[in-house]
Structure 1
Amino acid sequence: MLRWALTFFVVAIIAAVLGFGGIAGASAGIAKILFFVFVVLLVVSLVSHVLRGKPPV
């Protein structure tokens, strides 16, 4: 998931440098959404491990 966010971020930067504002904005928006989804899934995973009492692997 984080890899996809970074990929869209790089696409946004390249599109912005080349002057494609619409594509850059869309790619940055997608990257932002994917990053926050990744963070939420990370927090949910950590909380579930804490509640189960198992150490992280």
Structure 2
Amino acid sequence: MSDQKLYKTMTMQELIDDLDIIECFGHSGHRTHCGEISKKQKLLYAALGVEAPSLV
């Protein structure tokens, strides 16, 4: 968060809260399905250098 200067605009708790609302569902023998990912969430994942969950 420091490298991307995210602390200037949000706290760690706000970051966690923003990323925590993505719902993912897993079923035995099937792929995991994730709900819609907002534009802000995609930007946060990119800023952190992490691949966002796919919308399969």
What TM bracket, shorter-length normalisation?
under 0.3
Higher helix share: 1
| TM-score normalised over the length of structure 2 | 0.27
User: Highest CA radius of gyration, 1 or 2?
Assistant: 1
Which structure has more relative contact order (CA 8 Å, sep 6+)? It is 1
Higher strand share: 2
